[in-house]
Structure 1
Amino acid sequence: MEKTKIIFFDIKDYDKEFFKKYADNFNFDMTFLKGKLTEETVHLTKGYDVVCAFTNDVINKANIDVMANNGIKLLAMRCAGFNNVSLKDIHNRFKVVRVPAYSPHAIAEYTVALILAVNRKIHKAYVRTREGNFSINGLMGFDLNGKTAGIIGTGKIGQILIKILKGFNMKVIAYDLYPNQKVAEELGFEYVSLDELYAQSDIISLNCPLTKETQYMINRKSMLKMKDGVILVNTGRGMLIDSADLVEALKDKKIGAVALDVYEEEEDYFFEDKSTQVIEDDILGRLLSFYNVLITSHQAYFTQEAVDAITLTTLNNIKDFVEGKELVNEVPQN
């Protein structure tokens, strides 16, 4: 039986290691490229059956047209989000699948790590002691015990996060477009309006998807409704926050601290080594300059368990397509 030819874009060494680990279990001919899928590289899809892409690949109308003309039958996204895929331009010329869940525990646990780090200035303390400075001036935080956490988005990640924060004896309030009262009763939190969440929360965590309704939901107007000194944490999607407005709120000392694992213009920087280059994104550069901002490079998902699950789900999505089975992780195009 002829092997299905798959071309992978934006592959890191760790990705290749995991895919090769399972290669013998699938009848696939896999080609791995380090470069992203762009208008300069999309021509490389010619001769392949499947394109496997990631969160920062460019899947716009121009690239979709080329892939369709090259005979691509399936776009397999090895991530949960697909906001970088212009579904309206695919017109069912090929199928799209994704990895809807891999390890919600990984992201929830990392969110807590960010909260602890930015509150207690652990990242700053580490740098100080490495340089022989053992002063603790300026490193004071506050007890999580008794404080209020506002969780925006109560899906699997949000629910696990709530369980962990309840372990710190925090009061938890939440907002979701589709509230689950049964889960709220089981976990011991309360659904409130967004305005109430902004006004009451000492810490706000964004764990919701990026949609037309949620894009830039954290902006100058919403930040003015928050408590002075609030800690804002985003492990969801970068465009949930208007970064320019965030800079102004930090300058005004309205926001006490920020921890970001995502950024709205991250595709030019995240996952890459830019240590010998100038950061040309002025807003990102400004955010990095604040002592009370902690930014990491979209690594909340990055555990052995999560990458293993992403790999197997991606390969099984492709296998189901090749075998004509139901695509349980298909992304609807209408």
Structure 2
Amino acid sequence: MKVALFGTKPYDEQFFTEANENYNHELLFLEPHLSEKTAILAQDATAVCVFVNDEVSGDTLKILAEQGVKLIALRCAGYNNVDLETAKELGIKIVRVPAYSPHAVAEHAIALILTLNRKIHRAFYRVREGNFALNGLLGFDLYGRTVGIIGTGNIGYITGQILSGFGCKVLAYDPYPNESFSNFGEYVSLDELYARSDIISLHCPLTEENRHLINETSITKMKPGVMLINTSRGGLIDTKAVITGLKSKTIGYLALDVYEKESDLFFEDLSNEVIEDDVFQRLLTFPNVIITGHQAFFTEEALTNIANTTLSNITEIETTNTCKNLVQ
């Protein structure tokens, strides 16, 4: 099958080319993100492969369908950027990678917690400048602290498991509880999680129901000085409300690997550009904020699994017209 991969970087080409030795698809690597304007680049491809910030809108899907595209293969777990209703009307199948390396994302969330708490990012630059003063670098013991995990799928489960190893009290909220989570954690209501947690980490998919889950109202229910971590989807957080929370010190620490308007920023080198997103720029002014550019998934194991699962999904659709990772 001819597959047009949009929004690709050199590492995508490397891992997909290596994995394709076992599948023999015809791969076309395209640097631009998929959108209504770039959909024409799919040419005569039967399948299109997209990532988190590609725009798979109804209009984009119609252009792809006119070119003969029958399959959208997501090389990620989430599919909030896909117009599923239009895809169904056009007869375009959607497949995804439900789990590529939950350990990669969970470990990145832990890294953000430790870095924020012990001010590793600030200490690094101080020492390089010959400043060995400890003022302003005070942290706290994770042992005995209460952590709230929102979303207990594979990533949330592993994050909670790791934090329990630190000696944390682990709380969780998920409308679909995982029975195994009770081995080290406790399910509570969302309001109770907000009220009791010293650290809150988000690990849920983005839906219309939970968009801006963290908003002005939910922030007022949190403990003063709470640490907020998001390695899931940017749209879960109302960024302006979080900025207000940082200014009032209700939020004492913030780490983001995702941002609700990241599609114009992340995965690109903008070091020589003026970033015009004033909300994002405001976040960067806080000393208690860390932002990474959607890199939580970025490990060798994850990229290998993403490439293999994506190509396996395409092969399953090609040979059987169905797939275990079919969205619809």
Distance 1:13 1:131 in 2: 34
Deviates more, 1:123-132 or 1:48-57: 123-132
Q: 1:211 aligns with which of 200, 207, 210?
A: 207
Q: Secondary structure at the match of 2:140?
A: coil
Q: Secondary structure at the match of 1:284?
A: helix
Distance 1:29 1:153 in 2: 37
Q: Equivalent residue for 1:109?
A: 107
Q: Pairwise CA RMSD of aligned residues?
A: 1.1
Does the alignment pair 1:9 with 2:15? no
Q: Equivalent residue for 1:223?
A: 219
Return the offset for 1:183. 1.4
Return the offset for 1:92. 4.3
Q: 1:172 aligns with which of 170, 173, 177?
A: 170
Q: Secondary structure at the match of 2:320?
A: coil
Q: Equivalent residue for 1:284?
A: 280
Deviates more, 1:24-33 or 1:231-240: 24-33
Q: Equivalent residue for 1:298?
A: 294
* Cα gap change, 1:44 to 1:199, in 2 (>3 Å): same
Q: 1:163 aligns with which of 149, 156, 161?
A: 161
Distance 2:126 2:289 in 1: 16
Q: 1:80 aligns with which of 77, 80, 101?
A: 77
Q: Equivalent residue for 1:126?
A: 124
Does the alignment pair 1:310 with 2:306? yes
Distance 2:24 2:169 in 1: 51
Q: Secondary structure at the match of 1:15?
A: helix
Distance 1:102 1:324 in 2: 23
Distance 1:24 1:309 in 2: 14
Return the offset for 1:129. 1.7
Percent identity for Structure 1 against Structure 2 = 54
What TM-score do the two structures reach when normalised by structure 2? 0.97
Q: Secondary structure at the match of 1:245?
A: helix
Task: Kindly provide the amino acid, as one letter, of the partner of residue 122 in structure 1.
Answer: I
User: Number of residues paired by the alignment?
Assistant: 327
Q: Equivalent residue for 1:89?
A: 86
Return the offset for 1:154. 1.0
Q: Give a deviation string over 1:67-107, Cα, whole Å, max 9, x none.
A: 00110011111111111111111214211111011111111
Q: 2:34 aligns with which of 25, 31, 37?
A: 37
Task: Kindly provide the amino acid, as one letter, of the partner of residue 118 in structure 1.
Answer: L
Q: Equivalent residue for 2:66?
A: 69
Does the alignment pair 1:47 with 2:38? no
Q: Equivalent residue for 1:135?
A: 133
Return the offset for 1:325. 4.8
Deviates more, 1:238-247 or 1:125-134: 125-134
Q: Equivalent residue for 1:185?
A: 182
Q: Secondary structure at the match of 1:317?
A: helix
Does the alignment pair 1:249 with 2:245? yes
Question: Which runs of 5 or more residues in structure 1 are unaligned?
Answer: none
Distance 1:108 1:224 in 2: 27
What TM-score do the two structures reach when normalised by structure 1? 0.96
Q: Give a deviation string over 1:288-321, Cα, whole Å, max 9, x none.
A: 1111000001111111111100000000011111
Return the offset for 1:23. 2.5
Distance 2:129 2:310 in 1: 44
Distance 2:217 2:163 in 1: 27
Task: Kindly provide the amino acid, as one letter, of the partner of residue 107 in structure 2.
Answer: E
Question: Which runs of 5 or more residues in structure 2 are unaligned?
Answer: none
Task: Kindly provide the amino acid, as one letter, of the partner of residue 59 in structure 2.
Answer: A
Q: Equivalent residue for 1:238?
A: 234
Distance 1:101 1:23 in 2: 19
